[in-house]
Structure 1
């Protein structure tokens, strides 16, 4: 019985340590990426939006923007989450370009082989296509990386911090407590809410926070209520 009890205690300690390390890892990922990427996360986007029109077709990657006609040589639309929608474009000189898109709207989903579009080239990359008054940026276009990394931090830092607290709590206590359970549960709920929020709010930090914050407030209230009204479990 002593060996079984010791083995169970060791197993619980290892599990608590794994939870602690996992939560700490999430916090470190969010903080380090925010520190490294967020300060300059909009530099390329601002450079692209401020870039003037090229006076002539650039012979090499340039800071100005050049537009020219392209013919759609092929369209590949996918339903897979890990695959991007693609369009294969051919320029007037016969050069073939492969472009990828995060979604099908407002343009790529309506294109067919043989259609003509106007493409924008910047720094040697085809960054945007336009047709009939609609335009869509490719995945080579610069993005607001500051917003993206801050959204990532919103997803992982609060959840990771709560998970780490629950793991550390379990390491110093011989038995789980109601507060410990509520803390870990709240961390998991906030992580799931963080994953869903960008689907609804897009890549706008304010929009994502507007979805995530009410879930966080309600979930925190439930966790507090649970902690105050749930009876403590018997010691293990």
Structure 2
């Protein structure tokens, strides 16, 4: 029953990814791509759907690379009325050059700084909308496949409590779990790098995992619908 409950939670996560997270990120990226520079009237009324440009001063920077505790950010200020922090994914190409007192040009969208520029050298911040829906899809596919596997293993154990071979952790369950994670990462990461459509991820990962489930399944065991 625990496996079945975990599979339901994983199925809910899969539905959340494909019903909300992926469409939300896709729409955010499209909205950003369609945004135009703010007019003076839009700036006056505080419109955040346009791209506003600000000339800011660097107050301090932090460049710390330590695994999960890595921090790459710059504290920026506008005169004496505003101060904020822009976070980056790494030191280059701009952050490593910045120092206190430097003047930069920041582009803001929906209240967040998305790009920082100094003398023609630009660096996107972590708030920059990105077209990386392939990663979202990989997470959703992984959750869906784990839900299916958990449901099958849990149902077999519930129905055949004394004879649930081969639906056990060793060796079938372990091999299938490792293969599922490997396939989703192995398909999702290259998909992000190459920019192929996000639906390519489930189209490739699901059949590969199903083939692996059949391949690792010991011969001579009864078939169970998956």
TM range (shorter): 0.7 to 0.9
Is 1:128–1:136's contact at 8 Å kept on the other side of the alignment?
Answer: yes
Please give the secondary structure, in 2, of the residue aligned with 1:176. coil
Output the TM-score relative to the length of structure 2. Answer: 0.72
1:68 equivalent in structure 2: 54
Cα offsets for 1:27-49 (capped at 9, x unmatched):
22111332134344322322222
1:27 equivalent in structure 2: 11
The 1:143/1:226 distance shift into structure 2, 3 A limit, reads closer
Please give the secondary structure, in 1, of the residue aligned with 2:61. strand
Instruction: For 1:139 and 1:189, locate their aligned partners in 2 and report how far apart those are by CA, in whole Å.
Output: 31
Structure 2 runs not aligned, ≥5 long: none
Cα offsets for 1:130-162 (capped at 9, x unmatched):
234342332333445855532320221112211
Instruction: For 2:69 and 2:15, locate their aligned partners in 1 and report how far apart those are by CA, in whole Å.
Output: 26
Structure 1 runs not aligned, ≥5 long: 1-16
Is 1:106–1:136's contact at 8 Å kept on the other side of the alignment?
Answer: yes
- Shift of residue 55, structure 1, vs aligned partner: 2.8
1:168 equivalent in structure 2: 155
Is 2:137–2:199's contact at 8 Å kept on the other side of the alignment?
Answer: no
> Is the radius of gyration larger for structure 1 or structure 2?
1
Output the TM-score relative to the length of structure 1. Answer: 0.70
1:191 to 178, 181, 185: 181
> Alpha carbon RMSD of aligned pairs, Å?
3.7
Instruction: For 1:42 and 1:18, locate their aligned partners in 2 and report how far apart those are by CA, in whole Å.
Output: 34
Instruction: For 2:61 and 2:189, locate their aligned partners in 1 and report how far apart those are by CA, in whole Å.
Output: 25
Is 1:156–1:191's contact at 8 Å kept on the other side of the alignment?
Answer: no
State the 4+ residue runs in structure 1 displaced beyond 6 angstroms: 207-219
